[in-house]
Amino acid sequence: MKILTSNQQRELEACTIANEPISSQKLMDRAAECLYEVMLLSADLDRGCLLICGPGNNGGDGLLVASKLAKNPELNHLRIEVWSIQCGPQSTDNKAAFKTLSKCQNVRLSVISESGQITSPDADLLIVDALFGTGLNRPLTGLVADVVRAMNSWPNQILSIDMPSGMMGEDNSGNDSSTIVRSDHIMVIHAPKLAFFLPEGNGDCRWSVVDIGLLEPPSEMDIPFRTIITEELQDLLPKRPRFSHKGTFGHAFIMAGSEGKMGAARLCARASLRSGAGLVTAYVPKCGRDVMQMGEPEVMCIVAPEEPHLSGLPDLSPYSAIACGPGIGTGNETASLLKLLLQESRVPMVLDADALNILGENRTWLHFLPRGTVLTPHPKEFDRMFGAHSSTYGRLMTQREQAIRLGVVIILKGAYTSVALPDGTVHFNTTGNPGMATAGSGDVLTGVVAGLLAQGLNSGAAALLAVHLHGMAGDIVFERESEQSLIAGDIISNLGQAFRRLSESRVSD
């Protein structure tokens, strides 16, 4: 699903008005009709609603929704209240919508022009937030800031039209979070907004897209951001032909572990097997041999010459994919090993954890990365490699730039893990839950990527499929148990169910 910027959304609306053709007022009425129908199906309107409408076109949408609610004879029992907030000049279409609403008899319409008029509504009314849409470029102040702070203090459920008022469409790093509506649900017009996927946007709420019939974006519109859609991944699943053997599905090489950190190596290797790799060999220090051999009997083992950590590079020719980094430490010998790996490897690689920290200490080595290498940093690891960032938005921009410049795939882990591809597209994953913020979860993801790479998927496909399946497995754990109790091993144990869900979804289509 494409994610539009605020400017792109406005361009698309203007394009629809010019080329459908349709007047802006009729397009607003069509949008209001779609929003109204969604509210009838899914909103809690048992007692009524208070629609808080601004002076622009987002407010016009709210005014027309109120009109449609008022004109429905089956809803005569509902209390319909509307606040028209006078905080600036009304748009032409807003004026027309206000005139339409003024003709409705069973609506309590209040014009709010100063903060002293703000009163708390009955707690059982649904609040519909239609103050502002995508046009903001600075924090709210004055009357509208007071209205938003009041809304956030009320116990009522809040439903926002298009986006929470006060939120900017993209970068909210300089915004005032107290003046962003804390919505319970957002009825997003046409496409989600980038701010929903970034923590500064205060967008930790549910959203659903409402199709109002805008034209498809023109081919010249550059839309780099999108969400990962399950159905789009189904054909990426590696096939399992009947006449096949373990060699058919590749050989993953896992370079992981050091004294006290062999759990990372085991998790990574086991996840690689669970992701379908036909063979997995782990390269571990002497101290980790028994840990790996006894704990993971399906994994073959090569032992490094040093006792506490990895050193020396073995023959890489038998392997079809390599994972390096979980628990390896950042000592000089390990760093030298990584540098040699970057220079010698001829197969797809995924680098994580301490491999990324070593790169952060030796940034010139980033230019040694083979094209198509997959990097899986969390924000701190990312900043060690590419410099400090003061906002998630800034980090996202750098992620995209570096993926293009280096020709690599960067998986930036977070609540909505983003996958930046060398072609400049960035894909946000929507599976997963906060319970996955637990030790070893990243090691599992690295193993999944390695297992998929070993089976012949290209780095972009492997990354997209891995983050989605990884999050899906975490969601399956949550459904059965809880976020609090979730551990990394649970994710591995439920990868099979995640693969099955994805596969059965494809069959059902």
pLDDT tens series, the chain, 509 aa = 999 999 999 999 999 999 999 999 999 999 999 999 999 998 889 889 999 999 999 999 999 999 999 999 999 899 999 999 999 999 999 999 999 999 998 899 999 999 999 999 999 999 999 999 988 989 999 999 999 999 999 999 999 999 999 999 999 999 999 999 999 999 999 999 999 999 997 667 899 999 999 999 988 899 999 999 988 899 999 999 999 999 999 999 999 999 999 999 999 999 999 999 999 999 999 999 999 999 999 999 999 987 899 999 999 999 999 999 999 999 999 999 999 999 999 999 999 999 999 999 999 999 999 999 999 999 999 999 999 999 999 999 999 999 999 999 999 999 999 999 999 999 999 999 999 999 999 999 999 999 999 999 999 999 999 999 999 999 999 999 999 999 999 999 999 999 999 988 654 43
Distance from CA of residue 458 to its chain's centroid?
Answer: 22
The side-by-side arrangement of strands in the sheet containing 321-324 is: 225-227, 426-428, 418-420, 409-412, 374-375, 349-351, 321-324, 251-255, 279-284, 300-303
pLDDT of residue 506: 52
Q: What angle do the packed helices 332-344 and 354-361 form, to 10 degrees?
A: 90
CATH topology of domain 6-223: Rossmann fold (3.40.50)
The side-by-side arrangement of strands in the sheet containing 158-161 is: 108-112, 79-85, 48-53, 126-130, 158-161, 185-189, 206-210
CA dist 153 and 131 (Å) reads 17
Closest to 285 in 3D by CA, of 262, 315, 316: 262
Name the token pair of 392: 């998630």
Task: Output the CATH code of domain 230-508.
Answer: 3.40.1190.20
Q: State the chain's maximal CA–CA distance in angstroms.
A: 85
Name the token pair of 333: 């010998």
CA dist 438 and 485 (Å) reads 10
CATH code 3.40.1190.20 region(s) in the chain: 230-508
CATH code 3.40.50.10260 region(s) in the chain: 6-223
DSSP conformation class of 4: B
CA dist 423 and 367 (Å) reads 18
> What pLDDT digit, counting tens, does each position of 418-469 carry?
999 999 999 999 999 999 999 999 999 999 999 999 999 999 999 999 999 9
CA dist 207 and 464 (Å) reads 22
Task: Kindly compute the dihedral angle of the four CA atoms of residues 82, 86, 89, 92, in this order, to the nearest 10 degrees.
Answer: 10
Run of H or E including 302: strand 300-303
pLDDT of residue 201: 77
389 in Cβ contact with 396 (< 8 Å)? no
Distance from CA of residue 73 to its chain's centroid?
Answer: 41
pLDDT of residue 507: 42
CA dist 458 and 444 (Å) reads 19
